[in-house]
Amino acid sequence: MHIHILGVCGTFMGGIALLARAAGHQVTGCDANVYPPMSTQLEEQGIALTNGYDAGQIALDPDLFVVGNAISRGNPLLEEILDRNLPYVSGPQWLAENILQGRWVLGVAGTHGKTTTTAMLAWILEEAGLNPSFLVGGVPQGFGVSARLTDSPFFVIEADEYDTAFCDKRSKFIHYRPRTAILNNLEFDHADIFADLAAIETQFHHLVRTLPRNGLVVANGGEASLDRVLKRGCWTPVERFNIGDGWQAGEADASGAFKVSRGGTPIGQTKLDLPGAHNRANAVAALLAARHAGVPLDVGLRAITTFRGVKRRLEVRGTVRGVTVYDDFAHHPTAIAATIEGLRSRIGKSRILAVLEPRSNTMKLGTMKAALPGSLADAERIFCYAANLGWDAAEALAPMGERALTFDKLDALVEAVAAAARDGDHVLVMSNGGFGGIHGKLLTALAG
């Protein structure tokens, strides 16, 4: 079957492309925003990309169009598909019907940490010899691809609460019907599609309603929002982490080693190469989900020590003149604060120069702008790219005084960061997009 994917360079739809190709289909795709690592990954896998959504792509004559959730009414190719009554389906529905059916699905849901935790869970199963299939919203360093299809019964998936497609406004994860579900955390996000936190909690409740009695919910016990979700109805056993009477990760020593305990009783020890308490909590959640799939805890603890993280999650892009430049996907204030805290735990008192692009739909709406100063508080300098915002970034960051600068021109921002940076500094770039290739521009400017 020939499948043509609209929005193929999104992390999720790019994964769909890889899975469809591995399943034996001919796969092509199109997108308007092409940037690494997804574009590179698709090209390496031999998937032909078309730039833009010209209606002329109908001439490719695929058997099925798979439509990503970034595609809205008014898109010229989508409108042509609808006018001609051509067959189409959403990405999550195609995945559920063609790949996930009959498999043991392990889904990782939550506002933050989904990608890292999903990659970590897949890595534990891999190290345990279970050869899992997976779809991750990023590229795990140990695997080199964001999605893989094997003959294993286990499929690990990042279970996103964002809506499915223009024609299906349910959360993506409703389609997956996991047997094992991690509920990592839950707070307000996606202000473009959800009115409030209660609306998102309802979607999580719908997810919980699909879980079988022989499944498992691994829930963050420190989240009141998740407690509310589970109290609305849960027919599945629950293991709680990040809480005193449940599973917990201890403090890490200088090498990254930490103890895992249950109800205050030490269970074992592992070592994680990723900094921050949030990543140690992610590791505990992944360990518990893997245990449900049959991986002994001692095997899981050993696997964690070899986990190398995910591209664009505190990824070092280069060091020039003693200045290290990082790439991170953080875009929600909570994630920004956690990322800075994690980097701080690694570098001590060295300066952090935070470079931020408020690019997500929620951030563009200004819903979270009041929380930005607090989330950036532990960075010595802040450089914000404020182009195309519907709110005044300088006003929002005014409580930070001279520490924070805003820019409407990317080149001016790069020049300012390069001028401010000095030997021993750490430049932390945070965006959920390509950010105009700023990482390479910064390294070039620093070298000059």
Residue 37 pLDDT > 80: no
From the number of C-beta atoms within 10 Å of its C-beta (0-12, 13-18, 19+), residue 151 rates as: exposed
CA atoms of 292 and 261, how far apart (whole Å): 17
For residue 96, is it within any domain? Answer: no
Give the domain range for residue 20.
2-91
* pLDDT tens readout for residues 217-250: 999 999 999 999 999 999 999 999 999 899 999 9
* pLDDT tens readout for residues 39-82: 777 888 889 899 899 999 999 999 999 999 999 999 999 999 99
CATH of residue 227's domain is 3.40.1190.10
**Do 343 and 285 belong to one domain?**
no
**Do 208 and 236 belong to one domain?**
yes
Is 317 strand, coil or helix? strand
Boundary residue ending a domain (91, 123, 138): 91
* pLDDT tens readout for residues 139-162: 898 898 889 999 999 999 999 998
For residue 97, is it within any domain? Answer: no
**Do 9 and 85 belong to one domain?**
yes
Residue 174 pLDDT > 90: yes
Residue 274 pLDDT > 90: no
What's the average model confidence in pLDDT over 77-89?
Answer: 98
For residue 310, is it within any domain? Answer: no
CA atoms of 145 and 128, how far apart (whole Å): 19
- The DSSP element (H or E) to which 66 belongs, if any, is strand 64-67
For residue 210, is it within any domain? Answer: yes
Q: In what order do the strands lie in the sheet with 404-407?
A: 315-320, 323-328, 426-430, 352-356, 381-385, 404-407
120: its two tokens: 């970590």
Boundary residue ending a domain (250, 276, 304): 304
**Do 114 and 216 belong to one domain?**
yes
Nearest in space to 392 (alpha carbons), one of 430, 358, 434, 436: 358
Is 35 strand, coil or helix? coil
Amino acid at 256: G
Q: Are strands 154-158 and 147-148 parallel, antiparallel or unpaired?
A: unpaired
Boundary residue ending a domain (49, 66, 91): 91
2 with 25: CB under 8 angstroms? yes
Nearest in space to 221 (alpha carbons), one of 162, 263, 179, 256: 263
